[in-house]
């Protein structure tokens, strides 16, 4: 099993900015203002926050389409639309926590503010379903244990790696 320290080191090597989390919450003060991380940072986090075993990625340069919807067909349609529009630009990375909800990671050189669309649940279903494009001052958990399912976060194929041009 890969440790959070190993995951964070690999993320840094591949130009992501990791942040240690308890559940879904980052533990670092002013985590939103970080622009990078180093091997020294990862060592310090392991000593100062040993219980923060989940790992997030800052979204400023890795914006993430967070499809927080519980309808399988709606999620599948959204994923298919992303694949149709952006599949020829590179690999589409999907991260799952509480299925069918999914997060799709992108790359950008120009951070932007979060974009949020709240949805009305049909037939009085679960409220709070939404689609968000997380970016500046946001993060998404990419490794560890989901706080609701108590299962590991999963990837559609492989874990995040270096962006392919």
Whether 149 has a pLDDT exceeding 90, the answer reads yes
- Residues found in the chain: 165
Q: Return the pLDDT at 163.
A: 47
Q: Return the pLDDT at 165.
A: 42
Rounded to whole angstroms, how far apart are CA atoms 34 and 4?
19
Domain residue ranges in the chain: 4-58, 64-140+148-155
Q: b or e along 91-113 (b: 16 or more beta carbons within 10 Å of the residue's beta carbon)? A: ebbbbbbeebbbbbbbeeeeeee
Q: Return the pLDDT at 117.
A: 86
Whether 33 has a pLDDT exceeding 50, the answer reads yes
Answer yes or no: pTM beyond 0.75.
yes
Whether 40 has a pLDDT exceeding 60, the answer reads yes
Residue 91: pLDDT band (50, 70, 90) is confident
Least confident interval from 6-20, 38-52, 57-71, 147-161: 147-161
Each residue's pLDDT tens digit, 100-120: 999 999 999 999 999 998 876
Higher pLDDT, 66 or 121: 66
Whether 66 has a pLDDT exceeding 80, the answer reads yes
């Amino acid at each position: 099993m890969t440790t959070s320290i190993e995951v964070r080191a690999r993320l840094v090597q591949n130009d992501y900015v990791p942040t240690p989390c308890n559940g879904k919450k980052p533990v670092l003060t002013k985590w939103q203002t970080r622009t990078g991380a180093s091997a020294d940072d990862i060592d310090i986090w392991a000593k100062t926050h040993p219980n923060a075993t989940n790992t997030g990625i800052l979204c400023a340069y890795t914006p993430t389409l967070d499809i927080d919807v519980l309808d399988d067909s709606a999620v599948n349609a959204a994923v298919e639309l992303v694949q149709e529009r952006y599949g020829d630009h590179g690999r589409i990375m999907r991260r799952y926590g509480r299925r069918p909800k999914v997060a799709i990671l992108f790359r950008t050189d120009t951070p932007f503010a979060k974009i949020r669309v709240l949805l009305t649940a049909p037939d009085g279903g679960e409220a709070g379903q939404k689609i968000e494009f997380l970016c500046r001052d946001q993060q998404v958990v990419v490794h560890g244990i989901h706080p609701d399912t108590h299962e590991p976060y999963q990837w559609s194929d492989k874990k995040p790696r270096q962006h392919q041009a």
